[in-house]
Structure 1
Amino acid sequence: MSTISKNSLKTSLLELECHFTWTLLKQDVDLDELEETIGDQIEFLIKSNITNYNLLSYVCHLKNSNEEALRNLQKAEEEIKKNYPDEIARRSLVTWGNYAWIYYHMERYKEAQTYVNKVENSCKKLSSTAQWKIQLPEIYAEQGWALLKFGGKYYMRAKNCFENALKNEPDNPEFNAGYAIAMYRLEDFSHRQCEDASLSIKPLKRAVQLNPKDTFIVALLALKLQDFKQVEEGERYIEAAMQKTPDLPYVLRYAAKFYRRKGEVDKALKILKKAIAVTPKSAFLHHQLGLCYRAKLFQLKKTTRYPPQEQVEEFIRLSIFHFKMATDQKTKFFSAHVDLANMYAQGKRYEKAEETFQKAFQINILSYNDKQEYYYHYGNFQHFHMKSESEAIRYYLEGLKIEKDSYIRSKCRDALNQLLEKRIQGGLGDATDFGTLGLIHNLNGEKHKATECYEKAVALCPDNEEYLSALCELRLSISS
């Protein structure tokens, strides 16, 4: 193929609406785990699988198996013929776009051009104005579903896609479900501050109203109601979902989470064991099992003055086993890594704890909240297990320096305050402690308290540039 026609083919490919042009980056996901998840959804969720097969073809391409990618596109085509016999062209645009890109990567340029032409001709028939960019609600929705699968970084874009889809079809149950899930995940991802009302409750209720058979959404609504202390209403929803689809792992896992958070840990364990028999490799389920055994450990320690050592060790062992399964299965599962590290520390396996904390911090998709959480838990590890107050202070401070308000940031601040006050009252306070306390007060906007602390720091260490300049800035801002 000549360079000119190859370049014009590439230009056309970049115009297509499909997974290859939606900026879905492989470094943001664990491809094996994503492939497993899509496979489970194809098996268990009773809905059209066009979206799943299209996404699976893209995942296979990212894993360098283009032949397998083509096989999944054929399956997507079969689903389109079965579900939309009267709208084949309209429903095939994403599939054909993926075909074109995969053939291009296989250097089968003629086939790639054929699919480019198919998309172009169909777009011309479907819209008098568009050569390529045809804004169909189902394409927005398909992009939204793909973005949701690629993790937290993509949730805001997913929400926008479903909003665009809903502009044309406000009562479409699937688009409403996608929008509700995106809102739910966004709140979870940003570790919501407890506002008076949750932004996702309304869209979740609307999605349930439009399709009460979608028990996955029903279960999410139950958890969200529980977040806002509407536990009885939440439980009615969760029980209804379990009655409608008693064997669906996606509903069972959220039901288990609901009962664990309600304090009914044994009931949660029973549900999880049923779910894990169906999907034994689910990282989510293993993480939930680990959390249940951890809850049993803390319950035992709280209620028994001298808890039997073998029981304590058994709960630690089971918890570690399941957290480890979760991190093996999903290598970028940050909270499972932190939970595993903390559990190693509980079991006094400090080297393993240290190693796991380091692995957690090396995950390349950490949000600000994740980093704050890391610093807080690692600070606790240094403080309570390694008995190093100076290291603990260092890491709590790192968490506080990430100036994004969150529940975990306030925990870093409280832990720091306690440690520093204790050191100062015990007569151990040095210039660094006063300087750090000054920084905390300054970050909190408490300028007079900050000034006092920096004055004490300077008195102890008169030549320190950092303290002198902070003090100078504070005095200027107070007087201005």
Structure 2
Amino acid sequence: MEEEQFADMSEDADEVKDKLAQLRCHFTWELLIEDTELPDLENRIFDEIDFLDTKYNVGIHNLLAYVKHLKGQNQEALGSLKEAEDLIQQEHAAQSDARSLVTWGNYAWLYYHMGRPAEAQAYLDMVESTCQKFEAPSRYRMECPQMDCEEGWALLKCGGKNYERAKACFEKALAVEPENPEFSTGYAITIYRLDVFSTAAEASEAFCLQPLKEAIRLNPKDAYIKALLALKLQDVGQEAEGEKYIEEALTNMSSQTYVFRYAAKFYRRKGSLDKALQLLKMALRATPSSAFLHHQIGLCYRAQMIEIKRAANWQPRGKDRENVDRMIRLALSHFQFALEQKPTFDVAYIHLASMYIEAGDYGRAEDTYQRAFCLKSLEEEKLQKIHFHYGQFQEFQKKSEVNAIIHYLKAVKIDKAPFLKDKSMKSLEKLALRKLRRNASDVESLSILGFIYKVKGEMNKALEYYERALRLAADFGNSETGSLAVEI
């Protein structure tokens, strides 16, 4: 008898799981989040709840519930879902059923994971009832622009690996309601983030300028969007126009902590480092654990260090040397803290390594680069950047031409960021020519030059260098260098 009951329970659980898989909620959206990213993501969610003035707060409580579940805190997750429910009643009482679908879906999944299938089924019934009311073709799934938007926000908050899918969600929502302010805001922020990921050489294209302007038209009081538009205008050489938007955003009390962040970035890039640091420290008082803020503060101290060295003709002495050392120490501490908060913060590894190099601590610089190379699921353009900077470190600090060549080649072969690829090729070319001046019969250098011209599309020159390399390899009877020439 007990066996039969157990079999029935198992069948019920399987049936419930089949229904759960049809839901549209955080448990089914395949949000790509690494375990090491959870503390930073949770911090950013709390910051948004506390300091971002937005009409779209239901989704962030739903996401917090999902993060709590991932951390094994299911009871706390239920509390976050209750807060999402309360907000729906306050802000969207007239359309609460449709607005509640994601929250109910998360409840159902959460109760299922807690081994409470009856409660999971109760929420599935609520979803089913709403889908029937709106005559959805599926029992547990509703296709509507608001759901696409909810999914877009969740993907956007969970980092770069999710941005392309977030963009597709907001595009789908806007296709139905092109004048919807929330959809427009989500789309503009997503395109801005994707633009930031693109390289300096492509920044002039600025795909996000128009979406940002459109979002401001539909959300004229949104200071956060104005700050993003200012940064993008600065990117494309329209700094004066960008500064007008920054000043406008700073006079607005809305989302001040976030506006301070982006205004600081604007002034740092303009060279107004004291103003940038003042804004960053104001933001830091509100959000002391922000990896973004600590990284930006580190960049300000690094820029101040460069200013002092440049003024001292790159040979600081006395008081200048003391100030340089102080800036190095300050930058190091902020970059270290940023990485403690967010161990997947790839570019911060490069900046931390550069400060260790300035401090003459090549051992720690090496360790930092190795930690960067060990990052999981690193996007190719970021890996390309790490290879280039590590190649520079090997060439100029470690004086290892062999290792520098290996990493410049790896950077060139990742065909992502044209700007980095060109820099890596120039570095490779200089190294190869320098080696050839020392030894005109250096097979490896001839092979590298052949490879560089091949990549540039100058095939005649490429063939010329390859043939010289192969002839020399044959003359030496050196199969190893001969195979290298062919491989490159």
Q: Shorter-normalised TM-score: what interval?
A: over 0.9
Pair 1:185-2:216 in alignment: no
Retained in 1: the 8 A contact 2:203–2:236?
Answer: no
Retained in 1: the 8 A contact 2:444–2:484?
Answer: no
Give the whole-Å Cα distance in 2 for the aligned partners of 1:414 and 1:128: 59
Retained in 1: the 8 A contact 2:124–2:140?
Answer: no
1:478 match? none
Give the whole-Å Cα distance in 1 for the aligned partners of 2:480 and 2:450: 11
Structure 1: gaps spanning 5 or more residues: 475-480
Q: How many residues were matched structurally?
A: 474
Q: Evaluate the alpha carbon distance shift between residue 431 and residue 66 of structure 1 in structure 2; reply closer, same or farther with a 3 A threshold.
A: same
1:252 match? 260
Query: In the TM superposition, what whole-angstrom CA distance separates every residue of 1:92-122 from its partner, at most 9, and x where no partner exists?
Result: 0000000000111111011011111110111
| SS at 2:142 equivalent | coil
1:91 match? 99
Q: Evaluate the alpha carbon distance shift between residue 473 and residue 360 of structure 1 in structure 2; reply closer, same or farther with a 3 A threshold.
A: closer
**Cα displacement (A) at 1:130:** 3.5
Q: Evaluate the alpha carbon distance shift between residue 434 and residue 246 of structure 1 in structure 2; reply closer, same or farther with a 3 A threshold.
A: same
**Cα displacement (A) at 1:194:** 2.8
Q: Kindly provide the amino acid, as one letter, of the partner of residue 145 in structure 1.
A: W
Pair 1:266-2:274 in alignment: yes
Structure 2 residue aligned with 1:121, among 125, 129, 142? 129
Q: Which moved more, 1:378-387 or 1:465-474?
A: 465-474
| SS at 1:32 equivalent | helix
Normalised TM-score (structure 1)? 0.95
Retained in 2: the 8 A contact 1:247–1:275?
Answer: no
2:427 match? 415
| SS at 2:167 equivalent | helix
1:8 match? 15
**Cα displacement (A) at 1:311:** 1.1
Retained in 1: the 8 A contact 2:227–2:259?
Answer: yes
Pair 1:66-2:78 in alignment: no
Query: In the TM superposition, what whole-angstrom CA distance separates every residue of 1:363-385 from its partner, at most 9, and x where no partner exists?
Result: 11311110110001000111111
Q: Evaluate the alpha carbon distance shift between residue 359 and residue 196 of structure 1 in structure 2; reply closer, same or farther with a 3 A threshold.
A: closer
Give the whole-Å Cα distance in 2 for the aligned partners of 1:379 and 1:470: 19
Q: Evaluate the alpha carbon distance shift between residue 128 and residue 399 of structure 1 in structure 2; reply closer, same or farther with a 3 A threshold.
A: closer
Q: Evaluate the alpha carbon distance shift between residue 287 and residue 405 of structure 1 in structure 2; reply closer, same or farther with a 3 A threshold.
A: closer
Pair 1:455-2:467 in alignment: yes
Equivalent runs, 1:337-416 vs 2, <5 Å: 337-416=349-428
Pair 1:200-2:208 in alignment: yes
Quote the sequence identity (%).
Answer: 46
Equivalent runs, 1:132-143 vs 2, <5 Å: 132-143=140-151
| SS at 2:137 equivalent | coil
Pair 1:101-2:109 in alignment: yes
**Cα displacement (A) at 1:258:** 0.4
2:332 match? 320
Structure 2 residue aligned with 1:439, among 444, 451, 459? 451
**Cα displacement (A) at 1:169:** 1.5
Q: Which moved more, 1:10-19 or 1:436-445?
A: 436-445
Give the whole-Å Cα distance in 2 for the aligned partners of 1:231 and 1:133: 46
Give the whole-Å Cα distance in 1 for the aligned partners of 2:94 and 2:40: 35
Q: Kindly provide the amino acid, as one letter, of the partner of residue 30 in structure 1.
A: E
Q: Which moved more, 1:365-374 or 1:225-234?
A: 365-374
Quote the RMSD (CA, aligned, Å). Answer: 1.9
Pair 1:56-2:68 in alignment: no
Q: Kindly provide the amino acid, as one letter, of the partner of residue 399 in structure 1.
A: A
2:162 match? 154
Give the whole-Å Cα distance in 2 for the aligned partners of 1:77 and 1:190: 38
**Cα displacement (A) at 1:196:** 4.9
1:283 match? 291
Retained in 2: the 8 A contact 1:222–1:233?
Answer: yes
Give the whole-Å Cα distance in 2 for the aligned partners of 1:49 and 1:185: 20
Give the whole-Å Cα distance in 2 for the aligned partners of 1:315 and 1:36: 27
Give the whole-Å Cα distance in 1 for the aligned partners of 2:456 and 2:401: 22
Query: In the TM superposition, what whole-angstrom CA distance separates every residue of 1:49-106 from its partner, at most 9, and x where no partner exists?
Result: 2011000000001111111111100000000000011111111000000000011111
2:39 match? 32
Give the whole-Å Cα distance in 2 for the aligned partners of 1:304 and 1:100: 65
Structure 2: gaps spanning 5 or more residues: 1-7
Q: Kindly provide the amino acid, as one letter, of the partner of residue 126 in structure 2.
A: K
Give the whole-Å Cα distance in 2 for the aligned partners of 1:233 and 1:127: 49
**Cα displacement (A) at 1:471:** 8.3
Give the whole-Å Cα distance in 2 for the aligned partners of 1:392 and 1:7: 55
Give the whole-Å Cα distance in 1 for the aligned partners of 2:440 and 2:155: 52
